[in-house]
Structure 1
Amino acid sequence: MRRLRAATLTATVTALAAVASGCGGGTSPGGGGSNDSPKTLTYWASNQGPNVEADKRILGPELKKFERRTGIKVELEVIPWPDLLNRILAATTSGQGPDVLNIGNTWSASLQATGALLPWDKRNFDEIGGRDRFVAPALGATGAAHQDPAAVPLYSLTYALYYNKRMFKDAGISRPPGTWDELVAAGKRISKDGKWGLGAEGGQLANNIHQAFVLGKQHGADFFDGAGKPTFTSDGAVAAVKQYVDFMAKDKIIAPGNAEYGQNQSLRDFAKGKTAMVLWQAAATTFAADGMKPEDWGVVPVPVAAGTPGGGRQTNSMLAGINIAVFRNTDNLDGARKFVKFLTSDAEQRLLNKTYGSVPPVRAAQRDAAFNRPDTKVLRETLTRSAAPLPQVTDEAQFETSVGTAIKDLFADAAAGHPVTTESVRARLAKAEQQMAR
């Protein structure tokens, strides 16, 4: 791997480390680093299933299948999400990493800036069947604009609005909301007697960013200008953040306790019948694990201000998902490309995305009937029609930290009964913008 420019690497690592919620380090099984055996690959997979062991059970047979076809053995390590980013950062600085790895697609541009990942130019894409096999929105979350992608889409996710059918029926609500006004109206009818209309996770910085980004797009704000400069205090960005926090502060449809909620706590409340609606990515498997039956809940696209998603600036989801990347210093580039080709083949895309409840970013794989069920159809159509990637800027991770924390603090204000005004929102976002300049 070529030497990295120290200033760029240090800045990127510092920003990325800020959003990592665990501490990691170390190397892959067998010592890590570039692999000198053409018959072996090391692969870091992200934890997609209920737990690490479930992922090993899911991926194990597929890796054996790849070995039978190619003669290449894959040494697998499944890394939990709280540890994954720090493990990757340690590998980019030391050069002691896997041959192939999964990354969150919002990290693509930041990790691309380190120079540690293989660029997916035309030749490399041709080796896996061509760039045109992938849906355009998923490719939009693979690295900075006007550069060869740093990774290839593997699993795609989008947000949807999940609602509890019984709670809606008991409140006399005949259909799920399609606009934010309808959502607030439904939430107010439900929010009484210890039950709440909408769940949120105010303590979860990434989720805060995802919701604010979508509302920002609907208000005509992108949070960054064309040159990558933050515009957090624009009227559209301020209006978006205020609208989200106002679900608690003004509309009173989010429980004050949600201001401190972390990962998946809002889903548990939903499954227990404490909350009637939740905005989430591919939640079906989580609901099932918490004892909900498919007939207990419904799913529709995330609301928009008016009309339907997809038209004009009617973005209603950030484009979430997992990309697969190759470390630039691998000594088994041919094997690594074969492995990426295998995992992004039509058959594997159908199998793995069906198992994980995600949507294939490969066009042909989406034709499977599994992605035309009521819930997966909403996710698939959102992916292709109305989702947008988070800003692909090198300091995207710092954006998540600074603005995500601003929203967390505003939720804390709302929970404590303090007023949340346009001025207070703008002040929090101004502070976040100043932090980006440091």
Structure 2
Amino acid sequence: MRRSRIRAALTGVVALSLTFAATACGGGTTGASGSGGDGGKTLTYWASNQGASIEADKKVLQPELDRFEQQTGIKVKLEVVPWSDLLNRILTATTSGQGPDVLNIGNTWSASLQAGGALLPWDDKAFAKIGGRDRFVESALGSTGAQGKDPAAVPLYSMAYALYYNKEMFRQAGIAKPPATWDELVATGKRLTAKGGSAIGVEGGNLSNNIHQVFVLGKQHGADFFTPDGRADFTSDGAVAAVKQYVDLMAAHKLVAPGNAEYAQNQSLSDFAKDRTAMVLWQTPSATFASQGMTEDEWGVAPAPVPAGTPGRGTSVNSMVAGINMAVFRNTKNLDGALRFVNFMTSDEEQKTLNKAYGSMPPVKSAQADPAFATPSLAVIRDTLATSAVPLPQIPEESQFETVVGTAVKELFADAAAGRPVTTASVRARLHKAQQQMPNQ
């Protein structure tokens, strides 16, 4: 199977911050509290890890930051923060007041961090500094904060989940096309595992990814995980069915290798790129594939599965609105410089450069016109965002939701990997425990 290619190897916010009190802010703590001491000529920027590694991100970002300095005279001190640390770092900075000037946040955290009050609200005056609200795609703006409030951030990279598949592994198994429904995925997976491989990869130790997958499955089962008034509703029949369906890829169908129960960020992508796994559900991973020597003709992409029919709204939702937002700490001593930097990063030129590098879709409408974003793989992402993706709940407790339900899913995968039964009752019990950890329960 191996081919000759080279592979490189704040109610809620305050409560969570106490959990993460042992996490230090490191060098980033000299940002908002200290960046005004040089006449506004320095900014501190926490960038989220988008590429295959921290070093890969630095290679993408540093030339652009140098360009910004050449244009404005403002130096940007870059720190790329791993996803495993990012939320902890932000929460600690929120409660201490010692954060960067500008930072990236997962768009699902917008409302949680907004509730803490540490981020600059993007009112009409602030948006005017970067060309106006209308420059951005509506679905991306929908994940920037609680409804009815000024956004806590602006969109930087837009993403959606899709199904990526290994063309050669499909060919060897005699499979002509990727699955479009979950029943087809299970049937396809069984044909693949009959050939001795692993059908699909998951990251059972990745709490955020767990949430993304079960939230979408929840929508397909008619569940939202929260009531209309914002209360946790983790034990509804639809929520339980969603979590069980996801874990059953390992527990019941045996399509996932047991080791995936402990996988953290990007480990499933590495397996895919090394021909160990035939399929993976992920957000725009093409840059990671390329970094490991996998060429675009070796993998295909299709919309993520739905229960039946074709992707769309309602029970045919097949992705959350994924992406990265850019925020400004409210107590920055260089607000003008921070706004100029956000304006630079969301300019058409930078949007094209950065989103090409990461294989993501620009949330700026005019930048999407570039032919680079009309490739077959990105067309799937664009269409998913436009027709069948919905944002995760934009509520202050969203980050706790990711932590407690993501952990419940992790524990269920651990049960499956150890051969312990995963039943409707055991899933409901884990979700009940998670719900009890939410505020106001």
Counting only pairs closer than 5 Å after superposition, residues 128-143 of structure 1 correspond to structure 2 as 128-143=130-145
The 3-state SS of whatever aligns with 1:198 is strand
Partner of 2:286: 284
Alignment of 1:26 onto 2:31: no
Quick one: structure 1 residues 248 and 31, their matched pair in 2 at CA, closer, same or farther if it must change by over 3 Å? closer
Quick one: structure 1 residues 53 and 169, their matched pair in 2 at CA, closer, same or farther if it must change by over 3 Å? closer
Query: For the residues of structure 2 that align with 1:51 and 1:276, how far apart are their CA atoms?
Result: 23
Partner of 1:407: 409
Partner of 1:396: 398
Runs of 4+ in 1 over 6 A off after TM superposition: none
Deviation of the 1:258 alpha carbon: 2.0
Alignment of 1:15 onto 2:25: no
Question: Which one of 145, 148, 159 corresponds to residue 146 of structure 1?
Answer: 148
Quick one: structure 1 residues 418 and 377, their matched pair in 2 at CA, closer, same or farther if it must change by over 3 Å? same
Give the stretch that moved more between structures: 34-43 or 179-188.
34-43
Quick one: structure 1 residues 133 and 283, their matched pair in 2 at CA, closer, same or farther if it must change by over 3 Å? same
Partner of 2:372: 370
Query: For the residues of structure 1 that align with 2:221 and 2:31, how far apart are their CA atoms?
Result: 49
Partner of 1:4: none
TM-score, normalized by length of structure 2? 0.91
Query: For the residues of structure 2 that align with 1:17 and 1:54, how far apart are their CA atoms?
Result: 32
Query: For the residues of structure 1 that align with 2:29 and 2:366, how far apart are their CA atoms?
Result: 34
Residue by residue, what CA displacement relative to the aligned partner does 1:106-135 show, whole Å, maximum 9, x if unpaired? 221111111111000111112211111111
Partner of 2:224: 222
Partner of 1:5: none
Query: For the residues of structure 2 that align with 1:330 and 1:185, how far apart are their CA atoms?
Result: 54
Question: What amino acid is aligned across from residue 58 of structure 1 in structure 2?
Answer: V
Query: For the residues of structure 2 that align with 1:90 and 1:411, how far apart are their CA atoms?
Result: 29
Deviation of the 1:304 alpha carbon: 0.4
Deviation of the 1:78 alpha carbon: 2.6
Question: Which one of 105, 117, 120 corresponds to residue 118 of structure 1?
Answer: 120
Deviation of the 1:223 alpha carbon: 0.3
Deviation of the 1:413 alpha carbon: 2.3
Deviation of the 1:13 alpha carbon: 3.4
Counting only pairs closer than 5 Å after superposition, residues 205-220 of structure 1 correspond to structure 2 as 205-220=207-222
Quick one: structure 1 residues 421 and 77, their matched pair in 2 at CA, closer, same or farther if it must change by over 3 Å? closer
Quick one: structure 1 residues 58 and 381, their matched pair in 2 at CA, closer, same or farther if it must change by over 3 Å? same
Does the CA-based 8 Å contact 1:34-1:97 persist in structure 2?
no
The 3-state SS of whatever aligns with 1:197 is strand
The 3-state SS of whatever aligns with 2:204 is coil
Partner of 1:260: 262
Deviation of the 1:332 alpha carbon: 2.3
Partner of 2:419: 417
Partner of 2:105: 103
Structure 2, unmatched stretches of 5+, are 1-9
The 3-state SS of whatever aligns with 1:303 is coil
Partner of 1:61: 63
Quick one: structure 1 residues 21 and 30, their matched pair in 2 at CA, closer, same or farther if it must change by over 3 Å? closer
Query: For the residues of structure 1 that align with 2:87 and 2:384, how far apart are their CA atoms?
Result: 27
Give the stretch that moved more between structures: 238-247 or 287-296.
287-296
Quick one: structure 1 residues 205 and 289, their matched pair in 2 at CA, closer, same or farther if it must change by over 3 Å? same
Partner of 1:295: 297
Residue by residue, what CA displacement relative to the aligned partner does 1:360-410 show, whole Å, maximum 9, x if unpaired? 111111111111112122122212222222111212121112111211222
Equivalenced residue count is 429
Query: For the residues of structure 2 that align with 1:50 and 1:40, how far apart are their CA atoms?
Result: 28
Deviation of the 1:86 alpha carbon: 2.9
Does the CA-based 8 Å contact 2:220-2:314 persist in structure 1?
no
Query: For the residues of structure 2 that align with 1:279 and 1:161, how far apart are their CA atoms?
Result: 5
Query: For the residues of structure 2 that align with 1:286 and 1:323, how far apart are their CA atoms?
Result: 20
The 3-state SS of whatever aligns with 2:324 is strand
Query: For the residues of structure 1 that align with 2:405 and 2:285, how far apart are their CA atoms?
Result: 25
Question: What amino acid is aligned across from residue 43 of structure 1 in structure 2?
Answer: Y
Partner of 1:76: 78
The 3-state SS of whatever aligns with 1:398 is helix
Quick one: structure 1 residues 93 and 435, their matched pair in 2 at CA, closer, same or farther if it must change by over 3 Å? closer
Question: Cα RMSD between the aligned structures?
Answer: 2.1
Does the CA-based 8 Å contact 1:29-1:75 persist in structure 2?
no
Query: For the residues of structure 1 that align with 2:270 and 2:22, how far apart are their CA atoms?
Result: 22
Quick one: structure 1 residues 236 and 400, their matched pair in 2 at CA, closer, same or farther if it must change by over 3 Å? same
Does the CA-based 8 Å contact 1:179-1:304 persist in structure 2?
yes
Residue by residue, what CA displacement relative to the aligned partner does 1:413-432 show, whole Å, maximum 9, x if unpaired? 22233332222221221111
Query: For the residues of structure 1 that align with 2:185 and 2:418, how far apart are their CA atoms?
Result: 24
Deviation of the 1:191 alpha carbon: 1.0
Structure 1, unmatched stretches of 5+, are 1-7
Does the CA-based 8 Å contact 1:241-1:425 persist in structure 2?
yes
Partner of 1:326: 328
Residue by residue, what CA displacement relative to the aligned partner does 1:173-206 show, whole Å, maximum 9, x if unpaired? 1111111111111001111353121111222221
Question: What amino acid is aligned across from residue 316 of structure 2 in structure 1?
Answer: Q
Counting only pairs closer than 5 Å after superposition, residues 159-174 of structure 1 correspond to structure 2 as 159-174=161-176
Deviation of the 1:279 alpha carbon: 0.6
Question: Which one of 80, 93, 96 corresponds to residue 95 of structure 2?
Answer: 93
Identity of aligned residues (%): 66
Partner of 2:5: none
Residue by residue, what CA displacement relative to the aligned partner does 1:184-240 show, whole Å, maximum 9, x if unpaired? 110011113531211112222211111100000111111011111011111111111
